[in-house]
């Protein structure tokens, strides 16, 4: 039987322009590092797997796009040159493509299992290595938009790889195990049910009994710890979690398989490229910095042993600022709301048009008015406009508000005399979510 693999999926939540069509990676073999350039149709990698797709003794690279690019999977030779490219989802699903590789139907050939990252529905697809659709199913409620992290491995001991899904950012710690056609085998909540940081997941076979266990981590803002999870005939065993980094690091971690009894764990950004390899019991067996110590990108890993490791840099999973805050980008005419490092919502706005200005800088919500009337007078006291009964008003500096604008639908272009005009659905959500004191950052 061929080697079984499980791979954690990267989730990227920022848009990056598609320009260079190449990405950089490092290969570490027995202490020697070789730099590689990958020919991919996107500038930034979302995730990747190094695996022998053709089962001919030569490894290929399966590389998925990051957020901000149309969904794409590139199949590369080991040297980084491209063999094939295909599209796993609709072109407008620009959230990042998560993927794992395994023999999930037991036919002796490998399949590519894909899901969208944060921002899209939890649809899981099973593709041939040529990109042909074989199966698809929803791993969670169709309304869930936190993304799906993936792993593969034989959990129930029947000799066939199962599909393991883990709820992504903003989701509960819900891990589910499926057959390739979407039939549920088992599931578990692997951390406290109130946790909303999402789960990173990989599989390993600690007992060498053909039934794989899971190693899980907190994917978003939370304590840096990992936990072994065992599925047995008697139920689910949640082993005691062990620390992976200093407690002050709270940006989430990714876990990657190395062999049957080891995993690699890396920060999800903003913490230095510090890779640590652990036994299933939490003992550190190897650690090093994959890049210069001041690098703050996320590090992705694909390893076939403790001494053969491929790494690539990716955009951090979370934004660096972790508090609840609002960002208004005047250059984009767009508003973003964040909490715990996760972008919760974004929508187009209309800020000031010339010669008026929307003030820039950092402010905070001063007061919330469910209904407000806006009047503007010239210096002679003549009424220039009167806009009564405006809903959902958030004042963030004297006389300047984020508010609904029922008198136009031209959002995305400057329109106002200084306030931030917003569409109804967006401002309604923002008004209910924001508190007095919530920071508002306005950038040019």
Which tokens hold the place of 238?
């949640």
Please provide residue 168's backbone torsions phi and psi, each rounded to the nearest 5 degrees: -85, -160
Which tokens hold the place of 328?
């208004």
Taking residues 212-241, report their average pLDDT: 97
- Is residue 391's pLDDT more than 80? yes
Least confident of 27-31, 246-250, 401-405: 27-31
Percent of the chain with pLDDT over 70: 95
Cα separation values, 1 from 53, 112, 243, Å? 14, 18, 34
Query: 325-443: what CATH class?
Result: mainly beta
Q: How many whole angstroms separate alpha carbon 340 and alpha carbon 175?
A: 21
For every residue of the chain, which 3-state class applies, written as one string? Answer: CCCCCCCCCCCCCCCCCCCCCCEEEEEEECCEEEEEEECCCCCCEEEEEEECCCCCCCCEEEEEECCCCCCCEEEECCCCCEEEEECCCCCCCCCCEEEEEECCCCCCCCEEEEEECCCCCCEEEEECCCCCEEEEEECCCCCCCCCEEEEEECCCCCCCCEEEEEECCCCCCEEEEECCCCCEEEEEECCCCCCCCCEEEEEECCCCCCCCEEEEEECCCCCCEEEEEEEECCEEEECCCEECCCCCCCCCEEEEEEECCEEEEEECCCCCCEEEEEECCCCEEEEEECCCCCCCCEEEEEEEECCEEEEEEECCCCCCCCCCEEEEECCCCEEEEEECCEEEEEEECECECCCCCCCCEEEECCEEEEEEEEEEECCCCCEEEEEEEEEEEEEEECCEEEEECCCCCCCCCCCECCCEEECHHHHHHHHHHCCCCCEEEEEC
Cα separation values, 36 from 33, 43, 61, 312, 394, Å? 10, 15, 12, 10, 50
Which tokens hold the place of 372?
């407000």
Q: How many whole angstroms separate alpha carbon 303 and alpha carbon 50?
A: 8
**8 vs 359: which has the higher pLDDT:** 359
pLDDT of residue 178: 99
Q: What is the largest CA-CA distance in the chain?
A: 87
Least confident of 30-44, 154-168, 414-428: 30-44
- Is residue 223's pLDDT more than 80? yes
- Is residue 143's pLDDT more than 50? yes
Taking residues 371-390, report their average pLDDT: 92
Pairing of β 325-329 and β 439-443: parallel
Nearest Cα residue to 374 out of 409, 339, 332, 406 = 406
Backbone angle region of 229, left / alpha / beta, with phi > 0 → left and psi within -120 to 50 → alpha: beta
Taking residues 201-212, report their average pLDDT: 97
Q: Which of 262, 274, 372, 403 is catalytic?
A: 403
* pLDDT tens column, 258-298: 999 999 999 999 999 999 999 999 999 999 999 999 999 99
Taking residues 178-195, report their average pLDDT: 98
pLDDT of residue 262: 98
* pLDDT tens column, 52-87: 998 899 999 999 999 888 999 999 999 999 999 999
Sequence-distant (≥ 6) Cβ neighbours of residue 183 within 8 angstroms? none
Which tokens hold the place of 131?
């990109």
* pLDDT tens column, 291-341: 999 999 999 999 989 988 999 999 999 999 999 999 999 999 999 999 999
Taking residues 3-27, report their average pLDDT: 45
Which sequence spans correspond to the domains of the chain? 23-314, 325-443
CATH 2.120.10.30 is held by the domain 23-314? yes
Residue 218 appears among annotated catalytic residues? no
- Is residue 90's pLDDT more than 50? yes
Pairing of β 325-329 and β 308-314: unpaired
Q: How many whole angstroms separate alpha carbon 215 and alpha carbon 417?
A: 54
**72 vs 232: which has the higher pLDDT:** 72
Taking residues 378-406, report their average pLDDT: 95
Least confident of 19-33, 62-76, 389-403: 19-33
pLDDT of residue 1: 36
pTM above 0.85, yes or no: yes
CB 306, CB 264: distance < 8 Å: no
Q: How many whole angstroms separate alpha carbon 288 and alpha carbon 290?
A: 6
Residue 403 appears among annotated catalytic residues? yes
pLDDT of residue 68: 87
pLDDT of residue 29: 77
CB 45, CB 35: distance < 8 Å: no
Q: How many whole angstroms separate alpha carbon 118 and alpha carbon 272?
A: 23
pLDDT of residue 241: 98
User: Residue 138 CA to chain centroid, in angstroms?
Assistant: 18
How confident is residue 44, by pLDDT bands cut at 50, 70 and 90? confident
Q: Look at the alpha carbons of 307, 311, 317, 323 in this order and tell me if their dihedral is positive or negative.
A: positive
- Is residue 21's pLDDT more than 80? no
How confident is residue 5, by pLDDT bands cut at 50, 70 and 90? very low
Nearest Cα residue to 110 out of 118, 102, 120, 121 = 102
């Amino acid at each position: 039987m061929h080697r079984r693999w499980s791979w954690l999926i990267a989730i990227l939540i920022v848009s990056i322009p598609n320009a260079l069509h190449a990405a950089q990676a490092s290969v570490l073999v027995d202490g020697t590092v070789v730099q590689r350039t990958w020919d991919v149709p996107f500038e930034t990698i979302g995730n990747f797997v190094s695996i022998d797709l053709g089962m001919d003794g030569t490894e290929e690279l399966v590389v998925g796009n990051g957020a901000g690019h149309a969904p794409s999977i590139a199949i590369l030779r080991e040297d980084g040159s491209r063999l094939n490219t295909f599209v796993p989802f609709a072109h407008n699903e620009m959230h990042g493509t998560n993927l794992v590789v395994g023999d999930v139907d037991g036919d002796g050939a490998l399949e590519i299992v894909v899901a969208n990252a944060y921002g899209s529905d939890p649809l899981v697809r099973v593709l041939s290595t040529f990109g042909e659709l074989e199966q698809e199913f929803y791993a969670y409620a169709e309304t869930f938009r936190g993304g799906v992290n993936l792993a593969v491995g034989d959990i129930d001991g029947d000799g066939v790889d199962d599909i393991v899904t883990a709820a992504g950012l903003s989701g509960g710690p819900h891990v589910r195990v499926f057959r390739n056609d979407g039939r549920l085998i088992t599931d578990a909540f692997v951390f406290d049910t109130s946790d909303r940081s999402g789960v990173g997941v990989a599989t390993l076979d600690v007992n060498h009994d053909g039934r794989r266990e899971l190693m899980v981590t907190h994917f978003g803002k939370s304590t840096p710890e990992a936990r072994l999870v065992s599925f047995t005939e008697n139920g689910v065993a949640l082993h005691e979690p062990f620390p992976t980094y200093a407690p002050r690091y709270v940006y989430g971690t990714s876990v990657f398989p190395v062999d049957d009894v080891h995993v690699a764990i890396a920060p999800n950004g903003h913490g230095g490229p510090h890779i640590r390899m652990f036994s299933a019991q939490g003992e550190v067996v190897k650690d090093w910095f994959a890049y210069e110590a001041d690098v703050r990108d996320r590090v992705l890993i694909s390893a076939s042993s403790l001494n053969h490791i491929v790494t690539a840099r990716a955009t951090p999973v979370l934004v660096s600022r972790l508090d609840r805050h609002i960002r208004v980008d005047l250059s984009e005419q767009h508003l973003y709301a964040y909490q715990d490092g996760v972008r919760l919502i974004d929508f187009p706005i209309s800020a000031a048009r010339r010669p008026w200005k929307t003030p820039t800088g950092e402010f905070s919500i001063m007061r919330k008015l469910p209904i407000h009337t806006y009047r503007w007078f010239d210096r002679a006291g003549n009424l220039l406009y009167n806009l009564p009964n405006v809903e959902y008003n958030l004042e963030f500096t004297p006389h300047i508000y984020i508010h609904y604008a029922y008198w136009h639908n031209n959002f995305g272009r400057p329109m106002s005399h200084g306030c931030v005009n917003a569409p109804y659905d967006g401002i309604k959500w923002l008004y209910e979510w924001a508190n007095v004191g919530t920071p508002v950052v306005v950038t040019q």
